[in-house]
Structure 1
Amino acid sequence: LAAVGRAALPLDEAVDLLRLTPLLGNRALRREFWAAHETRLTTDDEPRAASAALLCAGRVACLNQVAYENRELRPESLPPLAAEDRFELVERYESLMPLARDRRAPRVVLYDLMMRDLVRTFAGENLPDEVAREFFRRASLAAVRWRPERHEHPPGVEGVRHALLEEGAYTKYRAFQAANRARRAARKTVRTRKRQVGAKLREQQYRRALSRPVDADLAVFAAYWERGVACNPAAIAAKLAELAPHIHPVWVVSKDNTALLPPGTDHVVPGTRRYWEVLATAKYLVNNVNFPNAVVKRPDAIHLQTHHGTPLKRMGLDQIEHPAAAKGLDFDALLARIDRWDYSVSANSHSTRMWERAYPARYTSLDHGYPRNDVFYTSGADAVRAARARLGIAPGKTAVLYAPTHRDYEAGFTPRLDLAELADRLGEDTVLLVRAHYFYGGATSPLTGLRRSGRLIDVSSYDPVEELCLAADALVTDYSSIMFDYANLDRPIVVYADDWETYRTTRGVYFDLMTDHPGQVARTQEELTEIFRSGAWRDETAAKARTAFRRRFCEYDDGRAAERVVRRVFLGEPEDALPPVLPIEDRTPAPTPEEATA
C-alpha cells in the first residue's frame, strides 16, 4: 500500500469504504488484529465480520486494483430461506451499530446502509404475512434505536418508506407499497402502449421506404451515437464534397446536438419519418459506431465502418471475458450489426488484425489510414497558430493536453490527478488543456483561479479534438486511443498509468502499454511532475520510444487517408489505382507550436 501511495487513515476519514461489498476476501488483516477481535470476527455471517473488521480497525487503506474475484450463485439456485434466516439481516446491523455508536461519520453511513438493506429486503422478498410482520417490527425497532441525531430522511418515495418503517406502520406501509406498484404498472402500461404504437408506425414507414429504389447519390453519415459532425465520418464527408460533389450527405444527429451543427448541414433526427427514409434509400451508410439493429442491409447499399480509434482495450467479442466492459452488451445483436459492414477502415496492421478478430464478418479491411488524422499532415503553421488563438493559449506558453479515458470498473468519473497541484508544480509557463469530465464544480473549486489565470482550460466539450492536438505541445493520457492519433504529430507523449493493473484486468488489453509505450511513463503524480520538471518528457529516451510507437501505430496515416477511402468506396476505384501510403520517414507532420510561432 505504501509503495503505491495509498495512505492508511482512520475509518472516520474514509467512511465510504463501508459501502464496498462486505467480504472477508477483500480485506487483509494483520494477525494480531484478528487475534484481538477474534470473538467478534468469528461468525458464519461474512458481511457482518467484514464490516466489523473495518469498524474495529484503527487505520484502513484501500488498494486501487483488483485483488479478489467473488462469484456467487444466483438466488434461484439457492435453497429457500427459512423464516429465521430473514431476521439475520436485522441482527447483523444490531451487532454492528454499537461499534459506531459514538462516531458520527461511520454511524451515518452504516445507518443509511442498514435502512437501504432493510427496505429492499422487505420490498423485494415475497414473505409470508406472519414473517413479514415480524421482520417489519424488528426492522422498525432497529431504525428508531440507531437513527443518528439530526439525521434527515432521504427525499421522495424513499423518505416516505423510511418514515413509515420508523413509525412501525406495517398496514400503512403495505398500502403505500400497493399504491406505488399500481401507479408504476399504470405508467408502464401507458409507456408500453406509446412505444408499441410508435414502433408500429415507424416500422410501416421504414418498410414502405425500403420498397423504393436505392439512391446512388445519397450518403448517410453518423458519428459517436449521433453526436454530430465528427471523427472519421466528418473527414470522409469533407473529402467526398471535394471529389464526388454529386453525392449528397445527410447527417444523423440527436435533437440535443442539432444546434451545434455547422450552418447548412443537412441532417435528420433519429426516429423521425425522414430519418427512416434516408436510412432505407441511401446507397452509402457511414458510421464510426453502428447503426441501430432495426436498420436493414439492402443488397445495393454499402455500409462503411470507420471506427474511432486504434484499440488498446479489448473490443467486440473480445470483451466476453471481461464482465465490467461487456455489461449490457448483446453479442448476438453485435454480430448481426457486423454482418452489415462492407468495409472497415484501419489505421495500422495492428488494428486490422484486432478488428478482424473482435468483429468477425465478411467485410473488406481498408488499410488506408484514419481520415480524421489527415489534418496532422495537411495543416501548416497558420492552422497551429489559429488553434492556439481560439483556445486562448498565450504566446510562449507550453500547452499540455490532458485526456484521460473512461474506466468500465468505475460507476462514475474519478479524478486521477490533482490538477491544481500539477499546475502549481509545472509553473506559470505551462497551460493545462483538460479534456475530461467536469472535475470540480462550484465557486469553491480549487481550479477556479487556474481557469481565470489561463493556466487551465477546460476543453471537455471542445470539438474537433484534432484541433486540440494541433495546439498542444505535449499529450498526457492514460489508455485513451488519442495517443495513437497524437503520435502522428511526432510530439511528446507521457502515459500516466496509476491504475494499469486494474484497467488491464477489468477491461482487457491487446498489448502491454508499460512496455510498448510512446514516450515516458508515470505511475504516480509525483513521477509525472518530475518528468516535466526534469525535461524527460522530451528527451532522447522519449523520442526513441515515440519513433518505434509511430512506426507501429501510424502505419497508414500519411495525410491522404480520406482520399483513398472516398476513391475506393464511393468512386469504386481499384486498390492499385489509389495513392500509395507514404513511408513514415517521408512524411512531414504539422509544425510544432514552437516552430509555428518562431
Structure 2
Amino acid sequence: MTTFTVVVTAFDARGHLRECLTGILDGACTGPGPGPGRGHGHEVEVEIVVVDDGSSGATTALVDEYARRDERVRAVRLPRRLPAGAARAAGAARAGGTGDYLLFLEGRDILMPGALAALARRAEEAGRPDLIVFDHVRSTWAGATTGTGDGRLFAATGRAVLTVGDQPRMLHLTPTVANRVLRADFFAAHPELFGQDEYAEVLPAIGSLLAAGSIAVVDDVLLDRHEHGTPPSAAGAFDLLSQYEALWRLLDDSGSGGDGHGGAPRSGRVARIVFGGMAGRYLKVLGLPGLSDPDRAEFFHRASAHFRRYKPADYQRPPDLTGLRHAVLERDSYCGYQALRSANRGRRGVRALAGTARRKAADAAKKGAYREQLRRPVDENLAVFSAYWDRGVTCSPAAVCAKLAELAPHIRRVWVVRRDDAPLVPDGTDHVVPGSRRYWSVMARAKYLVNNVNFADSVVKRPGQIHVQTHHGTPLKRMGTDQVPYRATSRGVDYEALLDRCARWDYSVSANRHSTEIWERAYPVPFTSLDYGYPRNDVYFTATADDVLRVRERLGIAPGRKALLYAPTHRDYESAWTPRLDLERLARTLGDDFVLLVRGHYFYDRGPSPLEELHRRGRIIDVSAYGSVEELALASDALITDYSSVMFDYANLDRPIVILADDWETYSVTRGVYFDLTERAPGAVATSQGEIERLFLDGGWRDEDATARRAAFRRAFCDFDDGHAAERVVRHVFLGQPDTPRVVPLDHRVPAPSPEAAAALALSAK
C-alpha cells in the first residue's frame, strides 16, 4: 500500500475545486474489494489537506462540505493569503504525517483517472525514489489542451532511476511543483526549497531535481492544469532573484556546476542549463507590462549582477536576438535594453495598424469628449448604473441604487438608459443616453459602475474605478466560457472580447454557492465574489401584505382568483418566441378560479407579440412590458416556467413552482446545462399541456411531493437571499465596511405573505 498526502491550495480555484477534490478521491482506495483505482492494479491510500485563506465564502463552504463527508479530507484555514510556497508549506505541516509521498496541487489541477495508482506502481518499481516526475497538459477556458513539450525528455530517460548528473536535460522540464511527487523524508530534509517561491516555482521545481539522489519518471500525462486566463503579473517578481540565489547555492554545494566555494569557475551542462533558464526568465520579467519604470530599472541592474556572477566559464552567447539581449544584460546597459525594447514596440505598432473593426470602432468612440474626460480625476462621489443593456431602472442595480440613496446620499446616482426607454425612467431619476456627450463624461469619471450585464467594449476601466457585476440570474444553462462546446450558442461568439469585458469586474455578486462556483469557472478573470444574495430579491422579504394586494389591484386581478405567473425563457435555436402552451385553452380549462399572468422573454421585445390578441380579449394578462418581475412574483400564487432563472428567485417566496420540460432533452443538449432540472426541480414537472392542466385541476401543483421538492431546491439554491443583499453590497463596496450583516439562516427567514395570506391579514385588520 502506497500512501499519498495531497496538499491542495484553494486560492482562486475558479470553480474547478470540486472537480479537483473529486478526482483525487476517486483515484484512491483504502481497502479490498472493487472500487476506484482497483482497475489499475495498485491500491492507493490518500489524505487531502486543503489550504484555504477564507477570502471566498463559497470556497470555504465547499472545503467544509468535503471535510464533513470524507475523513480523508482536512481543511487548513489560514488567517490571511500567503504566497504559494508558504501556503503549501503550511498545508504540509498540518498533514497527518502518514503519507509516503507528497503531491502539491492547486485547486484548478485535475488528476487523470488512474494517476495515483500509476504513481504508486512506479514508486514500488523504482525502489521508492526521492522524486517521481510525470507529464501534464494545460487547458484553457476555450477547451484547448496544450502539451508541455516535455514528452521527448520523459521518453529519453526510459525506466532507469537516475539523477540530474545522469540526465542534465531533465532541467529543461517545465518548472512546476504539481508535476512531481516527493518522498516525505526527502521533502522534510530540504525545507529551504519549498516555502519561499512567490513569483514562480523555479526553486522548488529545479531545486528538487538538483537535490534528489534518485529520480524516476512516468512517461504519461497524469495531470490537467486549468489556466487562470489572465496575463502574468509583475507582483512578486523580485522574489525570482532570491530563488536563483538559493538555487546557485544548492548547485555549488552539490558540486554539479563547479566548485563555487573554492573559486573554480562554474562550468558543465548543468550550470549552462540553469544559467540559460535564469537569463530567459529575467528577460521575461523585464517585459511584463505591470512593472513600473523604477522597478524595471532596479530589476535590470540586479539581474545584470546575477548574469556576471553566475555566468559559466563555458557560456556561449546565442547568435540571435536573444544573444543581443544577453549582451546588454551582461554589460548592465539599461539604455541599450530600453533601445531594444523601443524597437520591438515599433515593430509591434506597425503590425497593430491592421487591427479589427471592433477595435477601430472602440478607438473612435474614445476620441473627443471621452478622451478628454479620461484625463480628468475620477469623481469619488459619482456612481453609474445600468441593467439589461440599458433597458431601464430595474433588477439588482436598481435595488443597489435605492439602498445607496438611503445609506450614502452624498454619492450621486446616474442611470444609462436607451433613448427609446428614457420616457419610462421614474421621475427624479438622473439618466444619460448612450453615446451622448454626458454619457462619455459620467462613464469616464464615475468612481462606481454597476451593471447586471457588461458595459460596452468602448468603456475604459480606469485605475481607481470600481466595477460591480450583479448578474441577473442563477445559472441553469451554461454560461461564459462553459458554452464553448455548444455550437448553438457559441458560434460566432468572440470569447476573447467577452473576457476583456469581464476583466473589468472588481466584484461579482452571487445569490448562492452554486452561482459563485460557476461564475468563477465560466469567467476566468480576477474578481472578488460577494456572497451576499441578489439585491433584487430583497423585496421578497421586505414586502408587506399591503404591497402584495396593491400590485394585484394594479394588475386587475380579482380577489379570490389564483394568479399563475407564466415566465418561460428563450431558446437559442428559435429566432422568435412562440408560447409552448396553448394559453387560450389553458385559461378555458382552468376556468374563472385562475388567471394567467404571461411574461414573454425580453429577448423578443421587437415585433408583434402573440400575446396581444389574447390580452385584448381578456383571456390572459400580458405582463411582458411590466417593469418589475419581482412585483409580478409577489402578486402571483404560483409560477409556471421552463428553464428560466426566475425559478431560483421565486423559490425565496416558498410558493408553488411548476416546471414545463417538454423539450428538456433538446434544450439540455443544444444549450448545455449544469444539472438535470427534471431530477432537482423546485416542484412538480410536466412534459405536456395536458399534464400542466391536470396538475392544477387535481391539486398536484401544491401537493406534498411538490412541497418537498421545493424545500430541497430552496436549501440548495437560496443560500444568501434574506432581504439584506443590497445593504451588504452598499456597505462593502461604497462605504468600505466589509463587516456586513450576516446572512439570516434559511429556517429563520420570513418571506412576504402569499396573496391568500395577505387577503386574510387585510380582512382581519378591518
Indicate the TM-score class for this superposition, using the shorter chain for normalisation: 0.5 to 0.7
Match of 1:226 among 367, 372, 390: 390
Question: Residues 248-327 of structure 1 correspond to what in structure 2 (within 5 A)?
Answer: 248-327=412-491
Q: Conserved in 2, the CA contact under 8 Å of 1:202 and 1:271? A: no
Q: Deviations over 1:159-178 (max 9, x none)?
A: xxxxxxxxxxxxxxxxxxxx
* Counterpart Cα distance in 1 of 2:617 and 2:424: 26
Q: Conserved in 2, the CA contact under 8 Å of 1:425 and 1:529? A: yes
Q: Deviations over 1:55-103 (max 9, x none)?
A: xxxxxxxxxxxxxxxxxxxxxxxxxxxxxxxxxxxxxxxxxxxxxxxxx
Indicate the larger mover: 457-466 or 325-334: 325-334
* Counterpart Cα distance in 1 of 2:362 and 2:720: 45
* Counterpart Cα distance in 2 of 1:403 and 1:236: 24
Q: Deviations over 1:371-399 (max 9, x none)?
A: 00000000010000001001000000000
Does residue 720 of structure 2 align to residue 561 of structure 1? no
1:365 is displaced (CA, Å) by 0.1
**Aligned residue number for residue 240 of structure 1:** 404
Question: Residues 506-521 of structure 1 correspond to what in structure 2 (within 5 A)?
Answer: 506-521=670-685
**Aligned residue number for residue 741 of structure 2:** 579
Match of 1:433, SS? Answer: strand
Q: Conserved in 2, the CA contact under 8 Å of 1:420 and 1:450? A: no
**Aligned residue number for residue 389 of structure 1:** 553
Paired residue total: 401
1:199 is displaced (CA, Å) by 6.6
**Aligned residue number for residue 627 of structure 2:** 463
Q: Deviations over 1:274-308 (max 9, x none)?
A: 11111110000000000111211111010000000
**Aligned residue number for residue 756 of structure 2:** 594
Does residue 529 of structure 2 align to residue 377 of structure 1? no
Match of 2:429, SS? Answer: coil
**Aligned residue number for residue 482 of structure 1:** 646
4+ residue runs of structure 1 moved beyond 4 angstroms? 195-199, 445-451
**Aligned residue number for residue 687 of structure 2:** 523
1:564 is displaced (CA, Å) by 0.3
- Cα–Cα, structure 1 residues 430 and 277, in superposed 2: closer, same or farther, change >3 Å? same
Q: Conserved in 2, the CA contact under 8 Å of 1:419 and 1:447? A: no
Q: Deviations over 1:100-136 (max 9, x none)?
A: xxxxxxxxxxxxxxxxxxxxxxxxxxxxxxxxxxxxx
1:452 is displaced (CA, Å) by 3.8
* Counterpart Cα distance in 1 of 2:471 and 2:611: 37
Question: Residues 148-547 of structure 1 correspond to what in structure 2 (within 5 A)?
Answer: 200=364, 202-436=366-600, 448=613, 451-453=616-618, 455-547=619-711
Q: Conserved in 1, the CA contact under 8 Å of 2:549 and 2:755? A: yes
1:208 is displaced (CA, Å) by 1.1
- Cα–Cα, structure 1 residues 486 and 218, in superposed 2: closer, same or farther, change >3 Å? same
- Cα–Cα, structure 1 residues 485 and 198, in superposed 2: closer, same or farther, change >3 Å? closer
1:202 is displaced (CA, Å) by 4.8
Unaligned 5+ residue runs, structure 1? 1-192
* Counterpart Cα distance in 1 of 2:571 and 2:361: 38
Q: Conserved in 1, the CA contact under 8 Å of 2:365 and 2:458? A: no
Unaligned 5+ residue runs, structure 2? 1-356, 761-766
* Counterpart Cα distance in 1 of 2:611 and 2:380: 55
Match of 2:423, SS? Answer: helix
Match of 1:428, SS? Answer: helix
1:427 is displaced (CA, Å) by 1.0
State the one-letter code of the partner of 1:589: P
Match of 2:461, SS? Answer: coil
1:463 is displaced (CA, Å) by 1.0
Bigger relative contact order, structure 1 or 2, given CA contacts below 8 A and separation 6+? 1
Match of 1:203, SS? Answer: coil
* Counterpart Cα distance in 1 of 2:696 and 2:464: 54
1:328 is displaced (CA, Å) by 3.3
- Cα–Cα, structure 1 residues 595 and 224, in superposed 2: closer, same or farther, change >3 Å? same
* Counterpart Cα distance in 1 of 2:443 and 2:591: 52
1:355 is displaced (CA, Å) by 0.3
Indicate the larger mover: 411-420 or 253-262: 411-420
* Counterpart Cα distance in 2 of 1:534 and 1:264: 49
Match of 2:592, SS? Answer: coil
- Cα–Cα, structure 1 residues 318 and 197, in superposed 2: closer, same or farther, change >3 Å? closer
TM-score (norm 1): 0.65
Match of 1:284, SS? Answer: strand
- Cα–Cα, structure 1 residues 277 and 532, in superposed 2: closer, same or farther, change >3 Å? same
- Cα–Cα, structure 1 residues 376 and 558, in superposed 2: closer, same or farther, change >3 Å? same
Q: Conserved in 1, the CA contact under 8 Å of 2:384 and 2:446? A: yes
**Aligned residue number for residue 714 of structure 2:** 550
- Cα–Cα, structure 1 residues 316 and 201, in superposed 2: closer, same or farther, change >3 Å? closer
Q: Conserved in 2, the CA contact under 8 Å of 1:420 and 1:446? A: no
1:520 is displaced (CA, Å) by 0.2
- Cα–Cα, structure 1 residues 412 and 327, in superposed 2: closer, same or farther, change >3 Å? farther
**Aligned residue number for residue 146 of structure 1:** none
Q: Conserved in 1, the CA contact under 8 Å of 2:615 and 2:622? A: no
* Counterpart Cα distance in 2 of 1:442 and 1:196: 36
Q: Conserved in 1, the CA contact under 8 Å of 2:387 and 2:394? A: yes
1:204 is displaced (CA, Å) by 2.6
Q: Conserved in 2, the CA contact under 8 Å of 1:324 and 1:507? A: yes
State the one-letter code of the partner of 2:745: P
The structure having more radius of gyration, on CA atoms, is 2
* Counterpart Cα distance in 2 of 1:235 and 1:449: 33
Which structure: greater helix fraction? 1
State the one-letter code of the partner of 1:481: S
* Counterpart Cα distance in 1 of 2:743 and 2:697: 38
Indicate the larger mover: 429-438 or 305-314: 429-438
1:451 is displaced (CA, Å) by 4.7
TM-score (norm 2): 0.51
1:210 is displaced (CA, Å) by 0.8
* Counterpart Cα distance in 1 of 2:366 and 2:464: 22
Q: Conserved in 1, the CA contact under 8 Å of 2:484 and 2:490? A: yes
* Counterpart Cα distance in 2 of 1:459 and 1:200: 40
Question: Identity over aligned residues, as a percent?
Answer: 64
1:253 is displaced (CA, Å) by 0.5
* Counterpart Cα distance in 1 of 2:754 and 2:621: 19
State the one-letter code of the partner of 1:209: Q
* Counterpart Cα distance in 1 of 2:435 and 2:615: 43
